[in-house]
Chains A and B, each alone.
Chain A
Amino acid sequence: MSGAGVPASRDQTLAAAALRSDRFRLERETDWQRLEAMVTAMEKGKLKKLSDDDVMALPVLYRNLLSSLSIARESSLDAGLIAYLESLTLRAYFIVYGTRTTFGAWCRNFFGGGLGRAVRSIWPDLLVALAAMVAGALLGFFLVDADTQWFYRLVPAQFGDTRVPGASREALMSSMFGKAESEGLAVFAAYLFNNNAQVAIMAFALGFAFGVPTVLLLVYNMATLGAMLWVFASRGLAVEFIGWLSIHGTTELLAILLAGAAGLHIGRALGFPGARSHLTALAEAGRRAAQVMAGVIVMLICAGLLEGFARQLIQSTGMRYAIGYGVLALWFTYFFAFRPRRV
């Protein structure tokens, strides 16, 4: 009995139907099938092919369907009919209350202010992460200052190469200004897969454990940096070292800061959910943190490009400072000053 049957025969079947619940179904099934066709078209992304009448009728048909389902559950024992109504209602519900954004629209919104909003919304965590990183750097610097043995504990062996306490000024200089022994590609690949991208992602992922490992990771990584800084500072190369590091380091350290803060945000929601349930708090924090992390990935890619190319191409300390802090200023402007009106 398809709804598309000849009207006369439909009326006949309607009259012939012995059961009240079958009459109920026969009276309404054309509406259901119209809605089903619309839902199927929308699921296939053919929204534009629907006529204006159909689009206007959608909410009404949807509500009628809901009431049909409620009535059918209480008055019909036709299991096939109820299964159909259940599945159609669920599909229509997902369409009516479905995603409103497309991928492209989300991208526009994200880069046109959404990222900045997300970053600003986790500002307490940004401050905590910043404090952890500053404390880590100071700790590394002063530990090595007190006893150079600390350097070997803080800095992994293969990372240290010639840059160890007691290295000559020339050796240190050449490590910063020498011609690139490795090409941009090798540096980039090593970068992407090995060091700080991993740190950033770990800092975020470990936020699950109430944020404690995140803080430890931030402190430890910055301690390594502080120890390295001491080695260069001990030979009077602090300014050059910071310049060498700044060119991509400002972007990269900011990315690590944001990732750590995103991790802390999740850890904080888990530890102190407030009046919300743990799962709700986690979901709310997770959505904010995920947007920040999407930004972190963009930043890490930028940092990788800067490290792979700009660092070895630009040999003057002045330029390195200019680029490093110019980029940092751009990020800050983008995150904190760029506040377009919400669409």
Chain B
Amino acid sequence: MARAADLGRTRGNDPRLQRILVTPEGVALDVAVAPASARIGALFIDLTALFALFVAFVLTLLLLFWGYERAGLPDVSDGVLNFLFILFIIGTFLARNAYFLYFELGQRAATWGKRAVGIRVAARDGGRLTAEAVIARNLLRDIEMFLPLMFMTSGGVQGTLSEFAAWSGIIWVGIFLLFPLLNKDRLRCGDLIAGTWVVQAPKAALGDVVATGAPVSEAVAALPVDRYRFDEAELSVYGEYELQMLEQVLRTSNPDALETVAATICGKIGWTPPIGDERAFLEAYYTQLRARLERGMRFGRRRADKNS
């Protein structure tokens, strides 16, 4: 059963991931820690994006090289080629880190992957997200994942990878990948070091006023505006939870749902269902119920749901 104090707060998320962030102005904001599934999804999208960028870059280079040879220019010496290759190794390393740094230092504090799943990086203490923190969490990502994988690949290619090294590499990556599941804030080691966490960045649009009282059709407009009046007893059957369910029904305004809900309410308060005029009926009931509950609220009386 929902407590009255929880009503009107963000709902529908895993309650274990709900946290309260107090702004410097002293207002408590609800934030939801990003679940592990979103984190993995974001990582996967980022890796795909990085890989696509890498492939595109290599293809461009090959194309340039091919064009250079076609143009019949003099051959490049091995030394220069080696040097270019080294620049390439360094460049890919820096570019990978720059991708994460650039996007997480931006206003949205999220890479493409994080944006796609609607999460972002934030400072755990509610303060400003500093550049140092972003550097720290991304540097650790290299240690957690990219470097062991690279060492293992290069060792495998050169044939120097022992079975022991391979297993320890796999265990190393595994521990770090599973680390977020082992703490309640879903912190990666990099988050731990940097004092950051990853939270959901919800984007809600401002919906219309629920009950405008505007007539839905010409036939209905002719009826008197205050044809539905409910007395105290009829309004006192429901609480805030039911009110907000009714709000959802009115916002989605699915005709079948309107009909069912109107019939249910009528059954409860002993009215005959208003066939063909469900919307006006529900809007009237919603407005009057909300007025009653909000009046109680102003006097410090809240009613969570119909059972309380």
**Chain B residue nearest in CB terms to A290:** B136
Is A135 among interface residues, defined by CB-CB distance under 8 A? Answer: no
Contact B209 A22 (CB under 8 A): yes
Q: In the bound complex, how far is the Cα of B137 from the Cα of A289, in angstroms?
A: 11
Is A339 among interface residues, defined by CB-CB distance under 8 A? Answer: no
Is B203 among interface residues, defined by CB-CB distance under 8 A? Answer: yes
Is A13 among interface residues, defined by CB-CB distance under 8 A? Answer: yes
Residues A287 and B9 in contact in the complex (CB < 8 Å), given A22-B209, A81-B206, A193-B150? no
Q: In the bound complex, how far is the Cα of B129 from the Cα of A289, in angstroms?
A: 17
Q: Which of A87, A194, A286, A293 contacts B204 (CB 8 A)?
A: A87
Contact B27 A32 (CB under 8 A): no
Q: Which residues of A contact B82 (CB under 8 A)?
A: 183-185
Q: In the bound complex, how far is the Cα of B283 from the Cα of A16, in angstroms?
A: 14
Q: Which residues of B contact A33 (CB under 8 A)?
A: 206
Q: In the bound complex, how far is the Cα of B31 from the Cα of A305, in angstroms?
A: 47
The stretch among B40-48, B62-70, B188-196, B259-267 that forms the contact with chain A is: B188-196
Q: In the bound complex, how far is the Cα of B241 from the Cα of A77, in angstroms?
A: 10
Q: Which residues of A contact B212 (CB under 8 A)?
A: 1, 13, 16
Question: Chain A nearest CB: distance from B50 CB in Å?
Answer: 16
Is B76 among interface residues, defined by CB-CB distance under 8 A? Answer: no
Contact B213 A286 (CB under 8 A): no
Contact B291 A283 (CB under 8 A): no
Contact B291 A19 (CB under 8 A): yes
Residues A97 and B128 in contact in the complex (CB < 8 Å), given A19-B294, A77-B8, A90-B201? yes
Contact A283 B294 (CB under 8 A): no
Q: Which residues of A contact B90 (CB under 8 A)?
A: 301
Is A216 among interface residues, defined by CB-CB distance under 8 A? Answer: no
Q: Which residues of A contact B30 (CB under 8 A)?
A: 86, 90
Q: In the bound complex, how far is the Cα of B85 from the Cα of A204, in angstroms?
A: 28
Residue total for B at the interface (Cβ-Cβ under 8 A): 84
Question: Chain A nearest CB: distance from B133 CB in Å?
Answer: 6
**Chain A residue nearest in CB terms to B244:** A79
Is A201 among interface residues, defined by CB-CB distance under 8 A? Answer: yes
Q: Which of A80, A94, A158, A286 contacts B120 (CB 8 A)?
A: A94
Q: Which residues of B contact A19 (CB under 8 A)?
A: 287, 290-291, 294
Q: Which residues of B contact A18 (CB under 8 A)?
A: 211, 213, 287, 291
Question: Chain A nearest CB: distance from B178 CB in Å?
Answer: 15
Contact A290 B132 (CB under 8 A): yes
Question: Chain B nearest CB: distance from A15 CB in Å?
Answer: 12
* Main secondary structure on A side of the interface with B: helix
Interface residues of A in 1-55 (CB under 8 A from B): 1, 13, 16-22, 25-26, 29, 32-33, 36, 42-43, 45, 47
The stretch among A65-73, A160-168, A245-253, A314-322 that forms the contact with chain B is: A65-73
Residues A283 and B298 in contact in the complex (CB < 8 Å), given A42-B107, A83-B10? no
Is B297 among interface residues, defined by CB-CB distance under 8 A? Answer: yes
Is A279 among interface residues, defined by CB-CB distance under 8 A? Answer: yes
Q: Which residues of B contact A305 (CB under 8 A)?
A: 86
Is A261 among interface residues, defined by CB-CB distance under 8 A? Answer: no
Is A174 among interface residues, defined by CB-CB distance under 8 A? Answer: no
Is B282 among interface residues, defined by CB-CB distance under 8 A? Answer: no
Contact B29 A86 (CB under 8 A): yes
CB-defined interface of B97-108 with A at 8 Å, one 1/0 digit per residue?
010011001111
Residues A70 and B27 in contact in the complex (CB < 8 Å), given A77-B290, A201-B143, A290-B132? yes
Is B276 among interface residues, defined by CB-CB distance under 8 A? Answer: no
Residues A76 and B107 in contact in the complex (CB < 8 Å), given A86-B29, A106-B131, A184-B82? no
Q: In the bound complex, how far is the Cα of B89 from the Cα of A188, in angstroms?
A: 10
Contact A291 B208 (CB under 8 A): no
Q: Which of A47, A73, A78, A185 contacts B210 (CB 8 A)?
A: A78
Q: In the bound complex, how far is the Cα of B85 from the Cα of A92, in angstroms?
A: 45
Q: In the bound complex, how far is the Cα of B23 from the Cα of A132, in angstroms?
A: 45
Q: Which of A77, A283, A289 contacts B297 (CB 8 A)?
A: A77
**Chain B residue nearest in CB terms to A89:** B29
Question: Chain A nearest CB: distance from B296 CB in Å?
Answer: 10
Contact B27 A89 (CB under 8 A): yes
Q: Which residues of B contact A89 (CB under 8 A)?
A: 27, 29
**Chain B residue nearest in CB terms to A95:** B107
Q: In the bound complex, how far is the Cα of B34 from the Cα of A192, in angstroms?
A: 35
Q: Which residues of B contact A93 (CB under 8 A)?
A: 23, 29
Is A144 among interface residues, defined by CB-CB distance under 8 A? Answer: no
Q: Which residues of A contact B297 (CB under 8 A)?
A: 74-75, 77
Known contacts A18-B213, A70-B27; 18 additional CB pairs below 8 A are A45-B106, A63-B25, A69-B27, A76-B8, A77-B243, A78-B290, A79-B244, A80-B207, A80-B247, A84-B205, A84-B206, A97-B127, A189-B89, A193-B154, A280-B195, A283-B192, A290-B132, A290-B140
Give the 6 A-B residue pairs with the shortest CB-CB distance, closest first: A283-B195, A286-B193, A290-B136, A287-B132, A185-B82, A193-B154
Which residues of B pack against A, CB within 8 Å? 7-11, 23-25, 27, 29-31, 78-79, 82-83, 85-86, 89-90, 98, 101-102, 105-109, 120, 122, 124-136, 139-140, 142-143, 147, 150-151, 154-155, 160, 189, 192-195, 201-213, 240, 243-244, 247-248, 251, 287, 290-291, 293-294, 297-298
Which residues of A pack against B, CB within 8 Å? 1, 13, 16-22, 25-26, 29, 32-33, 36, 42-43, 45, 47, 63, 66, 69-70, 72-84, 86-91, 93-95, 97-103, 106, 109, 158, 183-185, 188-189, 192-194, 198, 201, 204-205, 208, 266, 279-280, 282-291, 293-294, 301, 304-305, 308
